[in-house]
Amino acid sequence: NAQDRKAKAERLISSFARIYTPIVTISAVLLAVLPPLVLTLLQGTPLSWAAFVPWISRGLVFLVISCPCAFVISVPLGYFGGLGGAAKKGILIKGADFIDALAKTDCVIFDKTGTLTTGSLTVQHVIPAAHISMEELYELAALAEYHSKHPIAQAITRFMHDRLGAEKSAALQQAAAEIRHYTEKAGSGVRTIWKGKELAAGSARFVLGDTAQPDAAATADGTKVFISYGGSYAGCIICSDSIKPQSTQAIKELRSAGVGYLEMLTGDGKKTGEKIADALQLDRCSSELLPHQKVERFEAISAERKKADAHKVCVFVGDGINDAPVLARADVGIAMGGIGSDAAIEAADVVLMNDNPQLIPQAIISARFTRKIVMQNIILSFAVKIAFLLGGAFGIIGLWAAVFADVGVALLAVCNSLRARW
């Protein structure tokens, strides 16, 4: 599939070769035939085979030199070398055109959970409402989150089962498995019916609506999951995860690579998002975003960055199913391949197999190096071809030099392309 996604330079060279080949073939024939005819007419001598021999030799030399193998082979080989070199590092790039795009990266926009942070969420605080006991809140949270595959829901479920004990936990799991009325809204939360009453878990907006957060929950730091039962507030669970060890270095390397703008998009609260963004020294953090709002924010950033230069590329890095729309919309979408969802990996243009954010600057640097090699191959091939074609037409060089201009330059370009795999 990657080979089918040709870069612009590859398509241009292929199109050029279709025009170039018949032109130089006809030129070689004309070089062998026209000069001896014209010279014979001007000198007034009889036409003979001897007059054609040196010019046929020049035409053959011209034809050998003009063979387009060097640039037709070396350009795609340069890109394939780049794809292979990136794959050896654990960076799967889905096409040569994305190498071109990565090389022009101007800004990188990140998801938070699982991308810059470990994604291994743990429950830090449980704050029940005044009329709810701690054990009741454990039970309600476990029942609400049982069917959800979201990392926050799974962290809460694990925590509640540990607190409730094996016997109580098994009974709750059996009861939760029998729940039939269950809905989940991406980026917001879940709703279900338990003993005839509505049970909800999720963001403050989803669970509480316009009602203000209780003071104890409002001042807490972390990702907050609110619980309501029967239409009344039942409590709040505070979760958090830690920054990946490689994230800080990845940000520094992106800055060193000349990436001009770095922002984080997250569905978490403003306080939590800004704490991570400040620790990593990002330019900005946009918090409390639903999946469609992430797309809108990314489009706004992209439009702003491309005002000065339409060729600037905005990259998005994410891992969850809620990141798939932004990954598909981005100039280049990069997904975490280890913990990433199938939807995110499918929508992405680049996949990082070991979830290491340091591979992001490496992918950009590798793409720029590959582009440099491709341009070297193009310049080398054309410069040598033009110089030797002129020499062949005027009879300055012979067949041995023509063979070098064809096979020798092609081999040099191939060897240069192999550098992209290192």
Question: 367 falls in which pLDDT band (50, 70, 90)?
Answer: very high
* Residue 4 pLDDT greater than 60, yes or no: no
pLDDT at 2: 44
DSSP 8-state secondary structure symbol assigned to residue 189: E
298 against 173, higher pLDDT: 298
Closest CA relative to residue 144, chosen from 74, 193, 210: 193
Q: Among the options 97, 106, 111, 331, which is catalytic?
A: 111
Spatial contact of 117 and 242, defined as CB atoms under 8 Å apart: yes
Taking residue 228's Cβ as centre, other Cβ atoms within 10 Å add up to 25
**Residue 299: which residues within 8 A CB-CB, separation 6 or more?**
329
Beta bridge partners of 182: 192
- Per DSSP, the chain holds a count of helices (H) and strands (E) of 17, 13
Spatial contact of 252 and 88, defined as CB atoms under 8 Å apart: no
Q: 266-321: per-residue pLDDT in tens? A: 888 788 888 899 999 999 999 888 888 999 999 999 999 988 888 889 999 998 88
Question: 357 falls in which pLDDT band (50, 70, 90)?
Answer: very high
Q: Is 100 a catalytic residue?
A: no
Q: How many angstroms separate the CA atoms of 91 and 82, rounded? A: 10
> In degrees rounded to 5, what are phi and psi of residue 180?
-110, -35
| Segment 120-126 mean pLDDT | 83
How remote is the C-alpha of 246 from its chain's centroid? 18
As a whole-number percent, the residues of the chain with pLDDT over 70 amount to 95
For residue 368, what are its two tokens? 């720029």
Q: Which of 46-50, 121-125, 339-343, 374-378 has the highest mean pLDDT?
A: 374-378
* Residue 91 pLDDT greater than 90, yes or no: yes
262 sits in which H/E element? strand 261-265
Closest CA relative to residue 347, chosen from 185, 111, 89: 111
